[in-house]
Amino acid sequence: MGSMIKFLTDYLAYVFKGGIKFYAWLAFLGIFVLIWGYGNYQQFTQGMIVTGLTDQISWGLYLANFVFLVGVAAGAVTVVFPAYVYHYEPLHKVTVLGEMLAIAAVIMCILFVLSHMGRPDRLWHMIPVLGIYNFPNSMLTWDTMVLLGYMILNLIGGFYFLYKRYMNREINKKFYLTIIFIAIVWALSIHTITAFLINTMPARPMWHHGMMPIRFISTAFAAGPSLIILIFLIIRKNTRLWIEDDAINMLSQIVAWCLGIGLFLTMSEVVTELYHPTEHSQGLQYLMFGVHGLNNLVIWFWSSMAFMVTAFIMLLIPRVRKNYKLLPIACVLTFVGVWIDKGMGLLIPGSVPTPIGEFTQYSPTFIEIFNCIGNWAIGFIILTILLKGAIGVLLGDVKYAEAEAA
């Protein structure tokens, strides 16, 4: 027990030993956290009226970010799967960094759910036995269960590996690999259940089709690795931890093919809905072209398509994909394109028109935008702390004193 406490104290002590760039980054994120505090104060004191949400469109920017971040959390498995299933050594050395990203992403998911709740003080109802945990009837309880389970698996797996590395001891492979393989399967479940949360609504034709889970997973395995590649390139540039080119090249190939699958599924949906349009096609028509002069989302859809198609073409060319000055551009385009596609391009047109045929515009207010940016800032602060400590352990800068003496 004493060694575990020493591990945590040494871990945190190392985290907060940083240079000017490190503290400037935290200070920059801290500005948005302060604005987030003001935004949340306004929302909790005045109610959801300060947001752009209405009775017609009750799922907006908060849940758009939630849906996207579930995919980012699931996308972390693209580091773990090749490392432990295919024994791909370049990724094997840095799998723990993917687990740290998964932890931070799930925490951000929880923050966005809290932002969306009109009464966050009733969150205790999501605790089995204590609250009214409507399991298995409510799909939301399934989503809560798999998300928390995934975070716990990554916490156990990631910090068990770091603790053993800190103590300079061999891991118990039977225990550790069991956690890893369960987490791999669980990663697929978290985005599948999130897709079920949406596509089990018959009154929302835009969502009500069986293609939603595979579309969610394919785009998750494009956006998640894109963020991981960016993080790996930043780590290579600013720390002594060297991440091999082969590891980055493997992830960029995964992004290319999963993004291609996502684009193919989008094209299939467009052809199916618009070749012989029915009243059920109005959500997609509103998204792509606007209806009755209402066209707030048109720019979002075509921007998303432009970003993702451009990124896909760039990633298809090996010379571009292996150029680490151009690769970050493709990754940013993929990340932003998928965010739009799974956020504004999926949630909002699912509610427009309403089941009774109403067309309502939705625009997020500054309070919503401030709270969203603040949630992202908190998530990146947590991610920075987790990654910096993990890098210290991997480099051997954080180690148990007795192990060092031995």
d(CA 257, CA 141): 32
pTM, entire model: 0.93
- Is the pLDDT at 199 greater than 60, yes or no? yes
Q: Is residue 200 very low, low, confident or very high in pLDDT (cuts 50, 70, 90)?
A: confident
Q: What sign has the CA pseudo-torsion 244, 98, 249, 322?
A: negative
Looking at every residue in the chain, the average pLDDT score rounds to 90
Q: Which CATH architecture has domain 2-403?
A: Up-down Bundle (1.20)
Q: Contact 163/7 with Cβ under 8 angstroms?
A: yes
Q: Contact 274/281 with Cβ under 8 angstroms?
A: yes
Q: Is residue 395 very low, low, confident or very high in pLDDT (cuts 50, 70, 90)?
A: very high
Give 69-88 pLDDT, tens digit per residue: 999 999 889 999 899 888 88
Q: Is residue 400 very low, low, confident or very high in pLDDT (cuts 50, 70, 90)?
A: confident
Give 83-101 pLDDT, tens digit per residue: 988 888 999 889 999 999 9
Q: What sign has the CA pseudo-torsion 33, 39, 44, 49?
A: negative
Q: Which residues contact 119 (CB under 8 A, 6 or more apart)?
A: none
Give 219-253 pLDDT, tens digit per residue: 999 999 999 999 999 999 999 999 999 999 999 99
